[in-house]
Structure 1
Amino acid sequence: MANGRLGIGLVGSGMISEFQAEAIGDLDNAVVTGFFDMVPELAAARAEQFDRKAYGSLAELLADDAVDIVSICTPSGSHLDPSLAAAAAGKHVMVEKPVEVTTGRIDEIIAACRDNGVTLGAIFPRRFFETSRLLKAAVDAGRFGTLSLADVAIKWFRDQAYYDQGGWRGTWKLDGGGALMNQGIHGIDLIQWIMGGIETVCGQVATVAHERIEVEDVATATVRYKNGALGVIEGTTAAWPGSKIRIEISGSAGNVVMEDETIVQWEFAEPSPEDEEILEKYGPREGLSGGGAADAKAIDTEGHRLQFDDFCGAIQAGTEPYCAGIDGRAAVSVITSIYRSAREGRIVQVD
């Protein structure tokens, strides 16, 4: 750490590394040191773009004393090895969603970071939206009375070109799944986090609108939450032109509908003084962050900025980040359980 700023080395120089570098560039407590990619030309291009170093190998990045944190931006199914190497080198580790494509591989990363005394973070920028925190606080405070239903719909669109580029998208090995694991994970993590966890799932998946992919482009699941409520998960990349992530939570004393960062409905049997202010501030409005519903590149960096700021602040203070590595496990467990349910045609317990 130099001048109170933690150095962050980025492993993987694809699209998400650009978002991360832009977000980190807006921070006062961190700085990007450089980029590494298995394709040297990609790292060189990203390094030139941000006027930073291009590392010739992962070992070179890990040997750089200026690097305090390694951020893993490689394809989902290749997060394990660089995460383990970073932890072994004594570097803190931040991993893009999903942390990995199986809970077993995630557990290896968690254990490595714990054993080496470094902090692990899992990137879920939507947890840092104020609307998400308000909704979770309302659930935790019991404002809904008896919770009955909690649904999430992630109806996005990706064209065939999206899957054809890169060679890894739409594969089980490196994408870990399709509409649920890559795109739907944003909404699935939010709903399970807000509701306190999912107990069982019963799912169906299909590939209906894309070619040359191994994974699903549409999926549904009915779920039972740990608090007893029921719900539905819908996810697809075949819903043109792409819609905002929609969450609806219902109970005996309240109902809330949220679309991305917009609160569409916020009603409770016992009103609170702040309810009117919440609706005024977070109701339908202009100038919201992009959600990536129709274009993977059309996302705002604010969520990443907030998360990296929190992660770096936690390291400097010696505390746990708001979204720690263990928090990245739950959504993957739900998704892989949905896949198992679809294969076996039965209700599956989420581990």
Structure 2
Amino acid sequence: MADTDQRVAIVGCGIIGRTHADTIAARPDATVTALVDSDPEARAALAARLKEAGHPEPQVYDDLPGALSGSDVTLVAICTPSGTHAALAEQALDEKKHVVIEKPLDVDLIRARRLGAAADRAANHGAVTSVISQHRFDAGSAQVKQAIDAGRFGQLTSAVATVAWWRSDEYYASAGWRGTWAQDGGGALMNQGVHTVDLLLWFMGRPVSIYAQAIRAAHQAIEVEDTVVATIAFENGAVGTLHATTAAFPGGRTRVSVHGTEGGAELEDDLLTRFNADGSKDDQSVDAGPPGGHKAQYDDILGAIAKGEQPGITVHHAIDALATVKAVYIASTLQRPVKFVDVLEGRYDDIDVSRGIGFPPG
């Protein structure tokens, strides 16, 4: 390993931890040197997975403080349940480590704001903090964003984003944190839909106001919503609809479309399926390539570390996405539109959003 290579601790050795470990193990400029999980079986399984693939066997730890004091890691990847993200990230930043956080940033805006301040302070000392939003690196998404920034769609008028998935009762029962407010932070929108929220904001800009209805349509054993629909007014004057569900058997597609006076585009399951621009009625979409996935975002993160720069996706981008999700839940709870800036700045921090998740009428 070269002196400039990153020595990575994976915190959380479940499904998403394996994704991060596999992504890092495939790189020439980073190595997984530590695994952290309170479950000995989980960390042992991931250690064995890396060893079987021909990689050095990492050290294993029960908790992050143990890894930070007992190894020479330089980058920490947070892959634990959502409600633990910010606290763990702060621990790593306090030790002057680079940090990558799996989506969402956290489930609590107060913790998220505190982490944003910690990340800013750490950046002054050269530390990089990023949150996984890998679909910004998909070739189709990048093409749409470039067209928007160049004005090729004319005046943006509307957008539609939908995540129509299915999650069984067994899925929610498979881990005690799933479907809970404390650790999952929400349901179909916070867990499954937050990447789509991030893309919507990337394309359309910041929201101004949000109105929403969230329900439990098919999964009565969980605390959170499994279906939500929201309408959003954006600063650029456009409007949009946002829909997320885990009650769409047997599971549908994820779609994002943007529309303007000179063109528009549609993405379906991370691929570009329609592209019209510059006033042309002809579909100009081409095969832009496969989704970039975690690899593309790690290219950005590790490149930023090597250059002494900040990454393309920062904690503050993730705070905006989290505030949008929270605004949806707050609007459903209050049964009226809420201003995005009021949510972002904490004016609704004392609202119990669990009261806003109802059952279907009937």
Task: Compute the TM-score of the two structures, normalised by the length of structure 1.
Answer: 0.90
Report the secondary structure of 1:222's partner residue: strand
Q: Distance in 2 between matches of 1:311 and 1:268?
A: 31
The one of 94, 116, 128 equivalent to 2:100 is 94
Counterpart in the other structure of 1:130: 139
The Cα of 1:272 is off from its aligned counterpart by 11
Q: Distance in 1 between matches of 2:286 and 2:119?
A: 43
After superposition, give the CA deviation of every residue in 1:19-48 in whole Å (9 maximum; x if it has no partner): 111111121221111211122332122112
Any conservation in 2 of the 1:261–1:282 contact (CA below 8 Å)? no
Aligned pairs for 1:80-159 (under 5 A) are 80-116=86-122, 117=125, 118-159=127-168
Counterpart in the other structure of 2:69: 63
The Cα of 1:75 is off from its aligned counterpart by 0.2
After superposition, give the CA deviation of every residue in 1:157-211 in whole Å (9 maximum; x if it has no partner): 1111110011000000000000000001111110111112222110000001113
Counterpart in the other structure of 1:262: 271
The percent identity for this pair of structures is 36
Any conservation in 2 of the 1:27–1:309 contact (CA below 8 Å)? no
Q: Distance in 2 between matches of 1:349 and 1:18?
A: 38
Counterpart in the other structure of 2:16: 16
After superposition, give the CA deviation of every residue in 1:94-151 in whole Å (9 maximum; x if it has no partner): 1110011122211111222332432210101101101111111111111111211111
Any conservation in 1 of the 2:17–2:79 contact (CA below 8 Å)? yes
The Cα of 1:244 is off from its aligned counterpart by 2.5
The one of 68, 71, 78 equivalent to 1:72 is 78
The one of 303, 326, 340 equivalent to 2:330 is 340
Counterpart in the other structure of 2:175: 166
Any conservation in 2 of the 1:179–1:218 contact (CA below 8 Å)? yes
Q: Distance in 1 between matches of 2:84 and 2:63?
A: 16
Report the secondary structure of 1:9's partner residue: strand
Report the secondary structure of 2:244's partner residue: strand
Any conservation in 1 of the 2:90–2:115 contact (CA below 8 Å)? yes
Counterpart in the other structure of 2:42: 42
Aligned pair 1:232/2:238, yes or no? no
Deviates more, 1:159-168 or 1:58-67: 58-67
Any conservation in 1 of the 2:33–2:73 contact (CA below 8 Å)? yes
Compute the RMSD of aligned alpha carbons: 1.9
Aligned pair 1:218/2:227, yes or no? yes
Q: Distance in 1 between matches of 2:128 and 2:22?
A: 22
After superposition, give the CA deviation of every residue in 1:214-260 in whole Å (9 maximum; x if it has no partner): 00000000000110101100000011222221111111111211112
Aligned pair 1:309/2:299, yes or no? yes
Q: Distance in 2 between matches of 1:78 and 1:236?
A: 24
Aligned pair 1:280/2:303, yes or no? no
Aligned pair 1:176/2:185, yes or no? yes
Q: Distance in 2 between matches of 1:163 and 1:57?
A: 25
Any conservation in 2 of the 1:204–1:219 contact (CA below 8 Å)? yes
Any conservation in 2 of the 1:93–1:121 contact (CA below 8 Å)? yes
The Cα of 1:3 is off from its aligned counterpart by 4.1
Any conservation in 1 of the 2:34–2:71 contact (CA below 8 Å)? no
Q: Distance in 1 between matches of 2:6 and 2:110?
A: 30
The Cα of 1:318 is off from its aligned counterpart by 0.5
Report the secondary structure of 1:174's partner residue: coil
The Cα of 1:261 is off from its aligned counterpart by 2.8
Counterpart in the other structure of 2:349: none
User: Cα gap change, 1:64/1:321 in structure 2, threshold over 3 Å: closer, same or farther?
Assistant: farther
Q: Distance in 1 between matches of 2:68 and 2:157?
A: 49
Any conservation in 2 of the 1:29–1:313 contact (CA below 8 Å)? no
